[in-house]
Amino acid sequence: MPVFDLKKNLVFYGAYHRDPTNVAIHIACVPVLLATGFLFGTNTPPPSHPPPHPPHAPAPPPQPRHPRRSNLLNPLPPPLAQHRRSKHHAANPRCRIARE
């Protein structure tokens, strides 16, 4: 006897889904479950910030900034970003602050 008998399983599936009690349960419950899934899916915001760090746990180590990584992936802190847009930074080629 094979482990997975397709014919036997399809006969059972057909008989199970023709049972009036099972049909009534499907008609009543499947739309509710589907609507609940859609509701949870549409009201769940995308993860924009990591969860807050618990005060009793040690702080995570700082992540090093890769020099060639895009600023969209790893933005500069506001003071350095303002400095990169300043006239001093543009006019002074020896300025090494936030230069990639």
Within-domain flag for 17:
yes
Between 45 and 28, name the one with better pLDDT. 28
**pLDDT value at position 82?**
55
Within-domain flag for 16:
yes
Q: Structural domain of residue 18, as residue ranges?
A: 6-40
The per-residue b/e assignment along 63-94, b for 16 or more CB within 10 angstroms, e otherwise, is: eeeeeeeeeeeeeeeeeeeebbeeeebeeeee
Domain tally, the chain: 1
Within-domain flag for 21:
yes
Within-domain flag for 10:
yes
Within-domain flag for 89:
no
Within-domain flag for 36:
yes
Within-domain flag for 47:
no
Within-domain flag for 34:
yes
**pLDDT value at position 32?**
96
The model's pTM is 0.36
